[in-house]
Structure 1
Amino acid sequence: MVENSQILYAREPALDVAEFRRVLVESGLGETRPVDDEARLKAMLSAANLVLTARLDVDGKPLIGVIRAVTDFSWVCYISELAVSRSAQGLGIGKGLMDEARRQLGPSVAISLISMPDAVGFYERIGMKRMADAFWFPRKH
């Protein structure tokens, strides 16, 4: 069992694309993200201005969770991904990443995201308010 004291949360703007891809796949988000398009994954990481990671504090410090977000650091932060490796799900890593995001952004910045259907309960449990008025233009590819 992983203890919270064994997890390192940090801002990591130069996250390796292979590590990012691995966590997306291991989390289950690989089914909804372009994990086989390395150039697109690199663009996704480079355009994010807030990348937070959760790593095990052991040799090699393996990545087990990531938040990729876009924010103005003043008014709002949009979280594009919150991914936690399946082997670490249920251990508080996702909540820890959200707590770190809130700590780094401060109390004057709102956080928004669009949840995958099977993650709605998680966001409600950590105290996020469900909003009905979200709108979406879907991707063409």
Structure 2
Amino acid sequence: MSIRYQLEPDLSADEFIDVLHRSTLAERRPVHDRQRIETMLRQADLIATARNADGLLVGVARSLTDFSFCTYLSDLAVDAAFQRQGIGQRLIRETHEAAGVVTMLVLLAAPKAREYYPHIGMQFHDSCWIIPRPNNPSPVTPSDSAS
């Protein structure tokens, strides 16, 4: 099957939400809050996509990066019908190359994907720390945080 990979900084919220549902990542993303999804896409530094021959979005990698030291791959979603074809691994590679291979690529694995990352050669790191989101957060836009 022919898959086309590219950077798509203007990916639509509708397509993103659709592939999140088809990948099961929607379970852990605010897919019912369109404004928040749009902000997530607009504020991303890199959005790498995978499309089949018909143009259907079958995979996406959304990342934040400084292009010199660190890249945080915040969303990696591949349509369940297209998994086990190397699409996720290729999206990671496309992301890392676009961000700069001198960056350290970091991601937090979804519970269902924990076994996937060592399989493709990523290293486990045991000292990740987080401040969890509140249950019903209101999105903060960059202009809100400037005051």
TM-score by length of 1: 0.92
Q: Which residue of 2 aligns with 1:8?
A: 4
* Structure 1 residue 37 displacement after superposition: 0.7
**Alpha-carbon distance in structure 1 between the residues aligned to 2:104 and 2:18:** 29
Q: Which residue of 2 aligns with 1:112?
A: 106
Give the AA of the match of 1:18. Answer: D
Segment drifting more, 41-50 vs 114-123: 114-123
* Structure 1 residue 78 displacement after superposition: 0.2
**Identical positions, percent:** 39
Does the residue aligned with 1:23 lie in a helix, a strand or coil? helix
Give the AA of the match of 2:76. Answer: L
Pair 1:37 & 2:17 matched: no
Per-residue CA distance 1:48-92 (angstroms, 9 max, x = gap)? 01100000123xx11000001100011110011000011111111
* Structure 1 residue 99 displacement after superposition: 1.5
**Alpha-carbon distance in structure 2 between the residues aligned to 1:106 and 1:69:** 12
Count of residue pairs brought into register by the alignment: 135
Give the AA of the match of 1:53. Answer: T
Pair 1:100 & 2:82 matched: no
Q: Which residue of 1 aligns with 2:119?
A: 125
| Structure 1 stretches of at least 4 aligned residues deviating more than 4 Å after TM superposition | none
Give the AA of the match of 2:15. Answer: E
Pair 1:26 & 2:59 matched: no
* Structure 1 residue 47 displacement after superposition: 0.8
**Alpha-carbon distance in structure 2 between the residues aligned to 1:139 and 1:106:** 29
Unaligned runs of 5+ in 2: 137-147
Q: Which residue of 2 aligns with 1:55?
A: 51
* Structure 1 residue 100 displacement after superposition: 1.0
* Structure 1 residue 27 displacement after superposition: 0.5
Q: Is the 8 A contact 2:63 2:95 kept in 1?
A: no
Unaligned runs of 5+ in 1: none
Q: Which residue of 2 aligns with 1:86?
A: 80
Segment drifting more, 45-54 vs 101-110: 101-110
**Alpha-carbon distance in structure 2 between the residues aligned to 1:72 and 1:10:** 20
RMSD of the alignment, in Å?
A: 0.9
Give the AA of the match of 1:29. Answer: L
